[in-house]
């Protein structure tokens, strides 16, 4: 049996790596198994896989590599030819079509956004549309540059919270929702007076 410099509690990962190196140097699986009898059962299952993996890692046969290069070149030529043979979109009609499609998409998104925004205007904090309403209000606050415009907007928003409170009371919403609306109204009033 071959002598090796082993640590007493050597892990299977370390042993497997050492055996992989030995196999790469040309040693046989049997010699590795004999060198590590404590791990022989595990190594017997793993070493054949390591041998196969090493065989896969080798460079391809030159004939195979040349054929692959030819196939790749042919695929590039076909793609280049198809692109050149395709109807030219570079003319004025091609560009107009692209601009028209983009304009339609922007228009549809804009109209649907306006509709969503209008639907969210009367929503209460327990509505799924309420975050849309909050986003609209936040954007309006950001866009209000002058102190006068911002104060007017905050007063308007506080008045809207009063309408929300009345609507929530008529709809017999829970008191926690009423408190939330009142707190928002107080915050907006304080911001307006500041």
Full domain range(s) for residue 144: 122-193
More confident residue, 118 or 41: 41
Condensed to tens digits (0 to 9), the pLDDT of residues 49-94 reads 888 877 776 667 788 778 888 888 888 888 888 777 665 555 666 6
pLDDT recorded at residue 30: 92
Judge if 137 and 151 occupy the same domain: yes
Q: Of 120, 136, 171, which residue sits at a domain end?
A: 120
pLDDT recorded at residue 31: 92
CB 131 within 8 A of CB 125: no
Domain count, the chain: 3
> How confident is the model over 148-177, as a mean pLDDT?
85
Q: Of 101, 120, 139, which residue sits at a domain end?
A: 120
């Amino acid at each position: 049996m071959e002598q090796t410099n082993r640590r007493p509690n050597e892990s299977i990962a370390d042993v497997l790596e050492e055996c992989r190196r030995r196999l790469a140097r040309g040693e046989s699986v049997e010699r590795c198994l004999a060198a590590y009898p404590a791990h022989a059962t595990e190594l017997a299952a793993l070493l054949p896989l390591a041998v196969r993996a090493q065989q896969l890692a080798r460079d391809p046969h030159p004939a195979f590599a040349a054929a692959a290069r030819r196939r790749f070149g042919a695929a590039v030529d076909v793609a280049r030819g198809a692109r050149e043979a395709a109807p030219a979109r570079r003319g004025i009609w091609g560009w107009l079509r692209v601009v028209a499609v983009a304009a339609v998409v922007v228009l549809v998104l804009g109209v649907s956004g306006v509709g969503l925004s209008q639907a969210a205007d009367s929503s209460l904090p327990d509505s799924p549309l309420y975050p849309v309403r909050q986003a609209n209000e936040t954007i309006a606050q950001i866009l209000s540059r002058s102190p006068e415009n911002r104060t007017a907007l905050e007063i308007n928003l506080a008045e809207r919270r009063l309408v929300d409170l009345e609507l929530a009371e008529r709809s017999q919403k829970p008191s926690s929702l009423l408190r939330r609306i009142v707190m928002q109204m107080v915050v907006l009033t304080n911001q307006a007076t500041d």
